[in-house]
Structure 1
Amino acid sequence: MDISKKHRIGILVKNLEQKNFNGELICSLLSNENIEIDTILVNTEGNNKNKILDIAKKYSFKRIFEKILFKFLIFFEKLIFNISNSNINFKKINLETLESKKIYLKPNIDTIKNIYTYSDNDIKKIVDRNLDALIRLESGIIKGKLLDSTKKGILSFHHADSDLYRGLPPGFWEVYFKNATTGFVIQKINEQLDGGELIFKGNTITKPYFFLNQQFVFKQSIKYLNNTLNDYLSNNNFKFLDKEPYKSKIYKEPKFKELFSYIFNTYFFILKKIYFKFAGFKEIWNICYTAQKFKKENLQNYKIINNHKKRFFADPFVVKFKDLNYIFVEDYSFKNRRGQISCFEINNNEEKFLGCVLSENFHLSFPFVFKFNDEFFMCPETKEKKEIRIYKCKKFPNEWAYFKTLINKINAVDTIIFEKNNIWWLITNTDKNNLEFSSELSIFYSEDGPLTTNWKAHKNNPVIVNANKARNAGFYNDGKNIFRVSQRIGFNTYGTGFDINTINDISKNSYTEILKEKINCNFFEDSIGTHHLTSIENFSAIDIKRFSNQS
């Protein structure tokens, strides 16, 4: 790309050695062919002796001791994180190696209020760079003329749902209050703490302890910056997200009571899970069915299919063939630690197990079946192959063979494929970091039918970034409307319920859906979750989660 056409941005840091979240984010920006990191602004701060004196003035002895205890907690959890997590890694970068202009600033720092202001001389140096935007990575609360020193202001991450948690520390309070999700926003900052104009908002699953949750949301949030930045800088008519006036309090580092409550509740929860695991208790799934159209009021009347020993059945998809109903399911083996696809034939409210119909040397689940040119095809989850692939039915329902890989080199799960308005749509859950698949919904489309490899990515991908909304949990069509079923999660658990959403608009430029109804898991006495629904004509199937001792 012609460098003269690139968006010129600056980054605001405290030093040239950048790692963790900042290092990863800067490396991500360097990979963006639409922008150029033109300027690096380095805050040069005063001596540590003055900082210590200011802290002593600002805080009581009790508050200082609380902060020290919190530092010990971070140190301890960081040790656990470094020992047990190999998937969450961050890049490092020495900014000295970049050809970008370096400008060293001397901010006036109000240590008591953590407010940064800058001299007219420093502001002029920045204005003279004629930057499109500035990315704040390291500084306190910025006030004054610096906010208007670039064409489109200063952008910053806030790692929390700004409607719930403003302030600090990122990733802590979601675990403390056992929230199912942890939010993040990209905002154009103003003088109000965490109260800027919202450019992007999303959330991901909450992890079981603070430091892990913090690092996880840091890692997962970075991947949304480049597309958001390109859109914001290129669109002269950019519209900020709607937001309500902030009512949430400003959170700070935990006090004694909150700290001890966190330690007790968090580690009791973790130790309890470890105990149940070694005692042989597992969360298992069962499938249930009824010879009726789906109605929320009839869920307690569904017939449960018993699992086979050391296995469970989940993710049911229903197909009608020659006046009989068939349920294709994930058939998970605890011994093999992977799933295969099996099938039940239903006749007069009695099920007949037909056995395994599709098996690979990798995990299979979510056996979505569709029909094209009077032939059946199946698109199961094949994430371990980093593919979205389909299998063709040779003899219904028992014989299926690999047919084609539709999309290669993709981390995706739980794919559904359907036709609407003469275009074939593929809706799937993605994560390029390959860490979790509840948060993103992505769409691809084909004008060449469903069997092509010419699938094009939707311009707004991912169209949903919300761990309580994105994950596919089934699909059905009542002849008038198309319904996407989406999974809901709980704190450190998935499949607590599902939502039925009417696909209101799907096109090359947009996607919207409207919530039709919410389904909770309390329709059976011992069920603790449900995360799938499929329905055709007068037949429906769901799955339920229960607690069982498999030892």
Structure 2
Amino acid sequence: MKQPAEVILRGGIDASSVVWLPDMPPGSFRADPFALWRGGHLHVFAEAFDYRDRVGHIDLLIFDRDLNLLECRTVLKTPWHLSYPFVFEADGEIWMLPEAFQSGALTLYRARRFPFEWEPVCEVPLDGPAIDATPFFYGEKWWLFYAPSHSKLAKKSHLHVAWSDSLTGPWKLHPLNPVRIDLSSTRPGGTPFARNGVINLPVQDCRATYGAAICILEIDCLDETQFSATVGEMLVAPPWMAPFTEGLHTLATAGSVTLIDVKRMDVSLHGKLGRVDGIIRQRLKRANVFRR
């Protein structure tokens, strides 16, 4: 969208500012968009998922200044599922911290040749594989907000925090983890920003469904021993976006451009058969790996 996040949070989504990504083939989708401007081009990184193999990878879409699509290709693919490609600049480098909890680890990547080539730099050891890990530099420290993966409920309702003096660690766990337990406002969902001295963390409202809406968690106290926050503005998919009104679970900023993802559920026979086929393929793949 050709609107900064703060404008959207105050007044909602303006239909005239929306630029839709190209459609995906049946049985697949893109989600979790994050972006950086570089060389006059907007580089959008997003999860690409196909129900036939059920293993997400990271796609790159490059746009010009007028948001015309110039190129689309896959830039990061692993044997395990990848999503939430949080891309950011720090220490003169460009980094990506994608979710890969099925690998059993959280791995920090660095651009070897931006935006197409990425190399793993280090693992970030926490209290288990992290979900939607979101880094933010604030108060001369790196803070990492994430959801734990130890249970299905915790993935959507617990917020954990870690901190470090360096992006590559060592990372220390916050002693109050989980610092917040609330199905409506904990799982990270986008790019944090500071406003009036307060950290604003986009988080997902998962009460009605996973990623039903985004709200802003206003963190007014954060240090190595304390944490407090209140819920601020909420953003939902407006009715004019129908049929994509069944969820909105990312709010990522890139200067004057804001990225969101909205969803619809395909309840057609074709959609259901595609999901069943994907589950069968995934289980057969795991069985073959086990037999080896």
Question: Which ranges in structure 2 are unaligned for 5 or more consecutive residues?
Answer: 275-292
Change (3 A) 1:408 1:511: closer
Counterpart residue identity of residue 94, structure 2:
F
Counterpart residue identity of residue 229, structure 2:
E
Provide the C-alpha distance between the structure 2 equivalents of 1:494 and 1:397, rounded to a whole number of angstroms.
Answer: 30
**Structure 1 residues 363-386: Cα deviation after superposition (integer angstroms, max 9, x where no partner):** 000001122211011111011122
CA contact (8 A) 2:126 2:171 kept: no
Provide the C-alpha distance between the structure 2 equivalents of 1:334 and 1:445, rounded to a whole number of angstroms.
Answer: 36
CA apart distance, 1:409: 6.4
Q: Which of the residues 301, 324, 329 maps onto 2:46?
A: 329
Q: Map 1:221-300; keep pairs closer than 5 Å.
A: 290-294=1-5, 295-296=7-8, 297-300=12-15
CA apart distance, 1:439: 1.2
Q: Map 1:7-406; keep pairs closer than 5 Å.
A: 290-294=1-5, 295-296=7-8, 297-301=12-16, 302-309=18-25, 310-347=27-64, 348-406=66-124
**Aligned positions, number:** 259
Provide the C-alpha distance between the structure 2 equivalents of 1:435 and 1:496, rounded to a whole number of angstroms.
Answer: 15
Change (3 A) 1:459 1:436: closer
Normalized against structure 2, the TM-score is what?
0.82
Q: Which of the residues 221, 224, 231 maps onto 1:508?
A: 224
Aligned to 1:469: 185
CA contact (8 A) 1:370 1:418 kept: no
As a proportion of its length, which structure holds more helix?
1
Secondary structure in 2 matching 1:303: coil
Aligned to 2:163: 445
CA apart distance, 1:525: 2.5
Change (3 A) 1:421 1:350: same
Percent of residue pairs identical:
24
CA contact (8 A) 1:476 1:536 kept: no
Q: Which of the residues 255, 264, 289 maps onto 1:546?
A: 264
Normalized against structure 1, the TM-score is what?
0.45
Aligned to 1:149: none
Provide the C-alpha distance between the structure 2 equivalents of 1:513 and 1:421, rounded to a whole number of angstroms.
Answer: 17
Secondary structure in 1 matching 2:178: coil
**Structure 1 residues 329-365: Cα deviation after superposition (integer angstroms, max 9, x where no partner):** 0111112101101111121121234211101000000
Change (3 A) 1:408 1:442: closer
CA apart distance, 1:501: 2.5
CA apart distance, 1:318: 1.5
Aligned to 2:203: 486
Change (3 A) 1:399 1:479: farther
Change (3 A) 1:326 1:423: same
Aligned to 2:287: none
Secondary structure in 2 matching 1:367: strand
Provide the C-alpha distance between the structure 2 equivalents of 1:432 and 1:314, rounded to a whole number of angstroms.
Answer: 23
CA apart distance, 1:451: 0.9
Change (3 A) 1:530 1:402: same
Provide the C-alpha distance between the structure 1 equivalents of 2:186 and 2:15, rounded to a whole number of angstroms.
Answer: 26
Aligned to 2:238: 522
State the Cα RMSD in Å: 1.9
**Structure 1 residues 60-80: Cα deviation after superposition (integer angstroms, max 9, x where no partner):** xxxxxxxxxxxxxxxxxxxxx
CA apart distance, 1:423: 1.1
CA contact (8 A) 2:59 2:74 kept: yes
Aligned to 2:284: none
CA apart distance, 1:513: 2.6
Provide the C-alpha distance between the structure 2 equivalents of 1:490 and 1:516, rounded to a whole number of angstroms.
Answer: 16
**Structure 1 residues 305-341: Cα deviation after superposition (integer angstroms, max 9, x where no partner):** 1332132110011211122211110111112101101
CA contact (8 A) 1:387 1:409 kept: no
Which protein, 1 or 2, shows the higher relative CO under an 8 Å CA cutoff with sep ≥ 6?
2
